[in-house]
Amino acid sequence: MLIGIAALLIRLAPLARGDLKFQTGWDAADYIPLAQGIQDGCGFARFENGHCGSPDVSRPPGYPFFVAIVPGLRTVLVIQAFLGAALCIWLGRFVGTHWGGGAGLTAAALLATDIPSIVYGAMIMSEALFQFLLTGAILLQLSAIMVDELNALTAGRVFAAAGLLAGAAMIRPTGIFLPLFAPLPFLLMKGAKWPRVLVFGVLAFAIPIAAILAWTARNRRVAGVNAISTDSAVTIFYYSAAGVLAYATHRSVDEASTELAHEIGWKGDPSTIPSLDQAMMRESLKIFAEHPFATLIVTFRGLILVAILPDRNELNELIGTNGGGPLGLAPSYDITTRIRRTMKSPALAILVLVQLMLNLFVWAGVARGLFRTNWNSKIEAACILTPLGAAFAMLLCSASPVAHARFRVPAIPFLAMLAGIGWLGRRADEVSYLERTARGSASAVQPVVSNLSG
């Protein structure tokens, strides 16, 4: 509980600023006009200069609707701070219940002090809400897997998790992969009859996939876009494909992206992006197919970067130091320039170094946990591989030349969980702790509000 309180205070601290200039930067420039459009009766369209724009297909609808229903941007940030703190408590209690108090405290502390989670939770950005929904869904699934019996309670948890996955899929384009996680607990429970497992699994899968298909149908109807948002196509085209082309042809990403824009006939008008969505995807797939080796190299390098890269520029703005920029460079380019800028501020340099050390500590704990796991236990293996799979799914979706620490935020709770288990978790082969508590864990995951009040 003390870690949760500390996490809340840390996340509320940025609200002491007199203005919201920092909090309303970056993607907030899209989210706020969309939220205003919802409030002013425009539907899912931007409200700018006193007028409703055309139906928007650039972003999924979840986060703008969240901002729209909350009275005031500061209140949005306060709620995000509470969500971050509640998640620390929930994760810590869950891990502590099944792997011991030391593992739970370690997992909660690593999540509470994760700087990218703090920084982007203090902005009008989707990271905090997406992180909470995704992690909550996986924790509910794990609690069902640990009971290892298909009954009304476990089925209810899995369906509730599917609902959270549907909500997460409506917030970030990377959520398009989340329906694959929805039926997993039913497939892992032993003793259940396959016809029943199949029916329940299909129903769980249908919950998030229905949300994705419904919004895709809306985008197709209003703009001819056969996707949940154009943001994913733009990201793949201008960052991933351009990065592969730049690596294969020994040019800069800017030069490669300019060439790609010329190839599809885009002249810089944002309003034409919906009509070029399919062309972007086709050209991107063509580049990946023509340069498979470069694609592997760029993706692997992006994965390493997003896995360990400290947050720097936005942290610099948040704490008011002078070590930020340059914004125009991809993280994988001109690292010496970034280090030189960071060293202008001793405070920022220390925080960046702390992040790097914590990231290495987390990954060492994850590796240790994998070696300590009793793979002969179906339950324990499932409870390790499920969060590990979710973490890598989120990291791989962001593995590009512009890999950024913010893209690691959805994976952090799972990595913190596995690190806690790796460093201080009880050994299943010594005390059979997990097996002995699995069937008695019906109350392991309490509602978040109950956790906060307790």
Is the predicted pLDDT of residue 45 greater than 70, yes or no? yes
Q: Name the pLDDT band for 433 (thresholds 50, 70, 90).
A: very low
Residue 122: what pLDDT? 94
Indicate the range of 16-30, 60-74, 396-410 predicted with least confidence.
Answer: 16-30
Residue 380 has pLDDT above 80, yes or no: yes
Q: Give the mean pLDDT of 425-435.
A: 53
pLDDT tens across 351-371, in order? 999 999 999 999 999 999 999
CB neighbour list of residue 22: distance below 8 Å, 6 or more residues apart: 14, 122, 123, 317, 318
Q: In the predicted model, what is the mean pLDDT of the chain?
A: 88
Residue 36: which of 24, 25, 51, 20 has the closest Cα? 51
Cα-trace Rg, the chain:
22
Q: Where are the domains of the chain?
A: 2-32+75-225+350-453
Distances (CA, A) of 85 to 72, 401, 408, 420, 452: 20, 32, 18, 17, 9
Q: Which residue has the tokens 């009275």?
A: 71
Instruction: Please report which confidence band the pLDDT of residue 191 belongs to, taking 50, 70 and 90 as the band edges.
Output: low
Which whole number is the average pLDDT over 404-409?
91
pLDDT higher than 50, residue 430: no
Q: How far apart are CA 348 and CA 169, in angstroms?
A: 34
Q: Is the pLDDT of residue 213 over 70?
A: yes
Lowest mean pLDDT among 43-57, 58-72, 311-325: 311-325
Helix (H) or strand (E) holding 52: strand 51-55
**pLDDT level of residue 451 (50, 70, 90 thresholds):** very low
